[in-house]
Amino acid sequence: MKTPMEKVLGAVDRYEERHNGFWCICPAHDDHNPSLHVQQGDDGRALIICRAGCDQQRVMTALEARGLKSADLFPNDPRASTRPKTTRSTHKGREQLARSYYIKDESGVLHGIHERWENPETPDQKSFKWKLPNGKYSRGDIDPAAMPLYNSQLIASWPEGCRIVLVEGETPAEALRKRGIKAVGTVCGATSTPDRDVLEVLSGHEVIAWADNDAAGLAHMRRCAELLEGIASAVRWSEWAEAPRKGDAADHPAIEGKDHEALKALALALRDAPEVTDEPAGPEEELRQSSRMPGGFSVVSGGRVERERAWPTMEEEAYRGIFGRLVELAADHTEGDPVALLASIITAFGGAVGRGPYMQVGATRHHPNLFCGIVGDTAKGRKGST
């Protein structure tokens, strides 16, 4: 039989042993540095406290959502939990619990657990069940349309105004995130639409809508795009021309495979996806819509043709020396323009050196600390990741 300490450690994602007990990733907030302190009391009970400030009730609620009961904190308590049920019988056969998704808001507060059940004999068939934060199954007391977007708790850690891909469901959102693409997912299903309040977490960000390749999925994402008007700084629409029926972002070859170049092409295609607009497209625009970026995304659509603009460039001599070498090394890992990269690197160097050194011209001392402004078209992603 497991001890109370072992039960608690089995309910957390990660822990490490130190001289004063165990330090775990706290399930009650978006924790990256272990802050949940777990020790064994003199009577064998497990003593827990979040050193980051979560109150005990919030911690226990999060642990209960993972199958732990308060009785599990005490030794030899007859109320202690048993192994959670991971299979169930339905008219479709024997289903197994495939994955549990923890749905948290932007503050990291758990609102519910979304379970995905699958039948090994018919993997294409799946069903979902909701659990309350206390681990009990919902009986109609959870409104999926009012539930936070999956990965909402990560948005605060992402750059302000960055591009975020919006998909249907947790699976494609998780697949994109694991490949380095910032993504959130709706959790209400294709036949429903998240409340506008739920989408407010995307305020000020550039949102790229990526729909599942079926009628319900397309309609679902179009409704989301309409609601995002006035919330997102811009809403773009991505199209995967070669998508299989009901295919989603998780099925894309660049996400499934390990081809770095394919992933880079996908990231560029997402960046350049056309903005959503209600303006009707003319013949010339429709012709332009037929052009596709790598990965099958439209270059121009939505009834608008972008005006060609001259883009700033620098002579080759500007990239000589250590700064140019740094630009060259960074180019494969960023969407930023080389000019913006060079300016950012020089500015960062000057900030690190400080105002001590200087070059005197006449009566004026010129210090290396600089101020740099990178300007690009609003909501066009022209500034890249610099």
Q: How many CB atoms lie within 10 A of CB 173?
A: 29
The reply to whether 100 and 165 lie within a common domain is: no
pLDDT digit string (tens) for 1-19? 688 988 999 888 888 888 8
Residue 101 domain boundaries: 87-142
CATH number for the domain spanning 264: value is: 3.40.1360.10
Closest CA to 61 of 131, 157, 148: 131
Within-domain flag for 80 = no
Q: How confident is the model at residue 119 (pLDDT cuts 50, 70, 90)?
A: confident
Residues 274 and 320 occupy one common structural domain: no
Residue 303 lies in a domain: no
Q: In the chain, where does DSSP find H-type helix? A: 4-9, 56-64, 170-178, 196-199, 215-227, 253-256, 260-271, 283-289, 321-331, 338-353
Sign of CA dihedral 364, 366, 367, 370: positive
Measuring CA to CA, which residue among 7, 142, 25 is closest to residue 84? 7
Q: What does the pLDDT look like over 325-359, one tens digit per residue?
A: 887 777 666 656 778 888 888 999 988 888 888 88
Domain count, the chain: 4
Considering the domain architecture, whether residues 291 and 218 belong to the same structural domain is answered as yes
Of the residues 73, 98, 124, which one is the last residue of a structural domain?
Answer: 73
* Residues 203 and 334 grouped into a single domain: no
Query: Between 363 and 36, where is the model more confident?
Result: 36
Any domain includes 78 = no
Flag whether 82 is in a domain. Answer: no
Q: Which of 116-130, 176-190, 230-244 has the lowest mean pLDDT?
A: 116-130
Whether 124 and 63 map to the same domain: the answer is: no
* pLDDT at 380 > cutoff 50: no
DSSP string, 308-346: P-------GGGG-HHHHHHHHHHHTT----HHHHHHHHH
Residues in the chain: 386
Domain annotation covers residue 293: yes
Domain end marker among 272, 298, 324: 298
Place of tokens 């991971």: 86
292 shares its domain with 332: no
pTM (two decimals): 0.53
Report DSSP letters for 346-357, one per residue.
HHHHHHHH-SSS
44 with 171, same domain: the answer is no
Residue 235 identity (one-letter amino acid): V
Has residue 81 been placed in a domain? no
Could you tell me if residue 159 is inside a domain? yes
Summarize pLDDT for 257-312 with one digit per residue, the tens. Answer: 878 899 999 999 999 999 987 544 444 444 333 333 333 333 333 333 333 344 55
Residues 292 and 159 in one domain: yes
Mean predicted confidence (pLDDT) in 38-59:
88
What is the DSSP secondary structure assignment for residue 264, as one 8-state letter?
A: H
User: pLDDT exceeding 70 applies to what percent of the chain?
Assistant: 80
Residues 294 and 176 both lie in one domain: yes
233 within some domain? yes
Indicate if 241 and 207 belong to the same structural domain: yes
Q: Which of 298, 323, 346 is a domain's end point?
A: 298
Same domain, 119 and 253: no
Residues 189 and 272 in one domain: yes
